[in-house]
Amino acid sequence: MHKCIYVIDPRKHISRNSTAFERHKLYAQKLNEASLGKIRLTIVTFSFEKRSDYSDGELFFKSIQFQRLLFSKFTKGKESNVDKSVPSVVIAGDPWIAGISALLVSTQIQLNRNIQIQLHGDFGNPIWSKTNITNRIKFLIAKKVLRRADQIRCVSQDQATLAGKYLQVDSSRIIIAPVPMMLQSPSIFEERIRKGIPTLGLVGRIQADRGLGTFLWLLRELASANRMFEVEIIGSGPQREWLERKFASDIPNVNVRFIGELNSKEVGSYLRNIDVLVSCAPAESYGRAIREALYKGVPVWTTATSGVSALGEAINSGYVKIFDLKNDCLTLASQFDDLLSVKISRDFKSKIAIQDERNFENIIQNWISIVD
C-alpha cells in the first residue's frame, strides 16, 4: 500500500488557482519519481455533502465531509477507490484555518506526529503583527497552533529567526525551504530595451498591509522631483477601488493600468513591460515577485524587509535599491535614475534559476524524510 502526504486546502486554493495547481502537480510527479512510486501527494478539501475523490495525473484529491471530520474516524475502512494510501504526513499552508484543520485531520486519522505547518509570510515579524488588530489576533492564534506542529517550514533564515524569537518556535522544529517559482529559463538570455516613458510596476495582492500608502507616497515624491513615469499594477484585492480613487485625486497626471490577477506565466510576460518593480510591503519573508523580476531582468525598488536582506549580491550590484520614508524626493529621484540604467547580468539570473531548482528539490526531499 502506498504512503501518502495530505496537503490540507480548506479554501480550495490549489484547485482554483492555476499556478498553485500546476506547482502541486509537479510536486506530485517529482515526489512519485524520487520515492520510486511509494509516496503519493493528496490535496484534502472539505464539503458538507459527500463527494467522490479523484486524481489528475499523479496528484490526488480527497474531499472530507465536515461532520465526519468533527465526529467520526473517517479513515477506518473508508478510503476511496481512487486513493487507498496511508496518510503519514499532514501539511498546512498557514497556521490558521489550514493549520487548525490539519490538527483536526491528524486527530481523526490518529496521526500523533508528522504535522508540518508552513509559514509563507513574515508572521513572526513584530512589524507585521502590529500592522492592524486582525494581524494581532492571527499572531496570537499562530503561536498556539504552531505549538502542536512537529515541523515548521519557513522560506528564509531571517523569517525562521523571527519565528523562533516571537512565535516561540523551537529552532529544532524549523526547516527552510522557499516556494519554487517555476521559472522559464529562456529569459536568462533576453536583453531588456526600455522605450518611451519608464514604467513602475507593483505585483501582488491589493490590500492595506501590503504598503499601499507607502507606494502612493513614493510616487508623489517622484512626481514632485519632475520624473515622468507610468504605473502597472498586477493583482487584485479589497483596496483596488480605493487605490484607483487615490491615483485620480493625488497624482492625476500619472497614467496607471490595473492589469488584474494573473497566473505565474502571465505575470512573467507582463514583467517585460515593467522597467522597475516596486515593493512596499512592511514585512516580506521571501519576496517571490522580487526574485522573479530580477530573473526577468527587472531591477527592484523596495523597502527593507527580511526577504530583501538575503539579496546581498543584488543590492551590492545595484539591481536592488532600498528606500525609506526619511528619503527626500531628490534622493529618491537619484535611486530611480540609477535603477533605470542598470542591466542585470546573465550570470546573476542563472544563479537565481539554479537556486530555484534547489528549492524544489529541497521540498521533495524534506517530505520524503518525514514520511514514516
Longest dimension (CA), the chain: 71
* pLDDT attached to residue 227: 95
Rg from Cα positions in the chain: 22
The pTM score is 0.85
* DSSP character string of 55-111: EETTEEEEEEEHHHHHHS-TTSS---SS--PEEEEEEESSSSHHHHHHHHHHHHTT-
Contacts 24+ apart (CB under 8 A), 68-77: 68/108, 69/101, 69/104, 69/105, 69/108, 70/104, 72/108, 73/108, 73/109, 73/110, 74/108, 74/109, 75/108, 75/109, 75/110
Q: Which three cell numbers stand for residue 83?
A: 486513493
Could you list the pLDDT tens digit for every one of the 372 residues in the chain? 688 999 999 999 998 888 899 999 999 999 999 999 999 999 999 998 888 899 999 999 999 988 877 776 655 444 444 445 668 899 999 999 999 999 999 988 877 778 999 998 889 889 888 888 999 999 999 999 999 999 999 998 888 999 999 999 999 999 999 988 877 655 555 666 666 899 999 998 898 888 999 999 999 999 999 999 999 999 999 999 999 999 999 999 999 999 988 877 788 778 888 999 999 988 887 888 899 999 999 999 999 988 888 899 999 999 999 999 999 999 999 999 999 999 999 999 999 999 999 999 999 999 999 986
* pLDDT attached to residue 21: 93
* DSSP character string of 257-293: EEEE---HHHHHHHGGG-SEEEE--S--SS-HHHHHH
Domain extent listing, the chain? 3-182+356-370, 185-346
* pLDDT attached to residue 191: 64
* pLDDT attached to residue 228: 94
Fold match between 3-182+356-370 and 185-346? yes
Q: Comparing C-alpha atoms, which of 317, 323, 322 is closest to residue 349?
A: 317
Instruction: Give the number of other Cβ atoms within 10 Å of residue 363's Cβ.
Output: 21
CATH 3.40.50.2000 fits 185-346, yes or no: yes
CATH architecture designation of domain 3-182+356-370: 3-Layer(aba) Sandwich (3.40)
